[in-house]
């Protein structure tokens, strides 16, 4: 029995040809819109531009396909380079482009951890909004809160205390944020205010160091009267 002939009329053929042409045009358009793969030189240029705060260059290099995940010889991403130099607009562009706020360098600094430790508060807020890992730790085993307290960054401490960060985390030295504020602080108004903020947020006043010395005993030994009063009022021993 003879098979029926395919209907290859002119209208059907025209539709098929038009479909092929449209598909080809779509492929060409997509290819034209995709940035070319970045070269190592472009990736390095992105890190350098971020570090000097050249937001226009950062935007251009990102459009050209430079990778936000590229690293330099120290393991730094462009976002960490921007954070080191407190280049807020460059950091904003990189985070919007998908930069990892938790990517660590060779010494375990990440954009989030470094911003917290050094009081880069604008960038810190951006990293928190972009999913900063509050449990991540630096090379000393400390969360972002501990060096913030140590370095006397009062506003940074307040920002971090508004998150679910562990207020009583103990680092590799055996110190909490409260212990660092007392032991490494200068006893002045800023470190004293940090002690007050930590206790008000629920930090344990009686976690001792490895030698069994509590924050209150450290404060007494150092003659930090303001801290002593605050600690005693919080039930410290």
Residue 38: the pLDDT is 72
Residue 36: the pLDDT is 57
- pLDDT surpassing 70 at residue 5: no
- Between CA 93 and CA 118 the distance in angstroms is 21
Contacts of 160-167 with CB under 8 Å at 24 or more apart are: 160/116, 160/124, 161/197, 161/198, 161/201, 163/128, 163/134, 164/134, 165/134, 166/134, 166/135, 167/198, 167/201, 167/202, 167/203, 167/204
- Between CA 146 and CA 180 the distance in angstroms is 7
Residue with tokens 């409260």: 178
Q: What is the mean pLDDT of the chain?
A: 90
- Between CA 125 and CA 156 the distance in angstroms is 9
Nearest partner of 157 among 186, 200, 99, judged by Cα: 200
Confidence of residue 11 (pLDDT cuts 50, 70, 90): very low
Close Cβ partners of 171 (under 8 Å, ≥ 6 residues apart): 137, 140, 141, 142, 143, 146
Per residue in 66-96, pLDDT tens?
999 999 999 999 999 999 999 999 999 999 9
Domains in the chain, start-ordered, CATH in brackets?
Answer: 39-133 (1.25.40.20), 146-237 (1.25.40.20)
- Between CA 111 and CA 50 the distance in angstroms is 13
Structure-block tokens of residue 62: 């990102």
Per residue in 91-120, pLDDT tens?
999 999 999 999 999 999 999 999 999 999
Per residue in 117-144, pLDDT tens?
999 999 999 999 999 999 999 999 999 9
Per residue in 13-59, pLDDT tens?
454 444 454 444 444 444 444 455 679 999 999 999 999 999 999 99
Structure-block tokens of residue 226: 């303001």
Structure-block tokens of residue 231: 């600690």
- Between CA 157 and CA 150 the distance in angstroms is 10
Give the mean model confidence (pLDDT) for residues 169-183.
Answer: 98
Nearest partner of 54 among 18, 19, 27, 81, judged by Cα: 81
Q: For the chain, how are helix, strand and coil distributed in percent, rounded to 5? A: 55, 0, 45
Give the mean model confidence (pLDDT) for residues 189-211.
Answer: 98
Residue 26: the pLDDT is 44
- Between CA 25 and CA 176 the distance in angstroms is 62
């Amino acid at each position: 029995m003879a098979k029926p002939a395919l209907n290859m009329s002119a209208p059907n053929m025209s539709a098929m040809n038009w479909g092929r042409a449209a598909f080809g045009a779509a492929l060409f358009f997509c290819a034209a819109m995709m940035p070319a793969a970045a070269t190592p030189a472009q990736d390095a240029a992105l890190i350098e531009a971020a570090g000097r705060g050249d937001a226009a260059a950062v935007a251009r290099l990102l459009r050209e396909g430079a990778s936000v995940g590229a690293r330099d010889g120290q393991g730094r991403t462009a976002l960490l380079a921007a954070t080191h130099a407190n280049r807020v607009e460059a950091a904003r562009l990189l985070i919007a482009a998908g930069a990892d706020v938790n990517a660590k360098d060779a010494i375990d600094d990440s954009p989030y951890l470094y911003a917290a430790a050094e009081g880069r508060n604008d960038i810190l807020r951006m990293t928190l909004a972009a999913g900063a890992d509050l449990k991540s730790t630096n090379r000393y085993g400390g969360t972002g809160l501990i060096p913030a307290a140590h370095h006397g960054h009062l506003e940074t401490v307040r920002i971090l205390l508004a998150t679910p960060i562990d207020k009583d985390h103990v680092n590799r030295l055996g110190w909490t944020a409260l212990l660092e504020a007392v032991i490494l602080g200068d006893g002045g108004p800023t470190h004293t205010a940090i002690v007050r903020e930590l206790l008000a947020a629920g930090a344990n006043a009686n976690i001792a160091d490895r030698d069994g010395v509590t924050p209150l005993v450290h404060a007494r030994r150092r003659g930090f009267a303001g801290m002593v009063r605050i600690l005693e009022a919080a039930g410290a021993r």
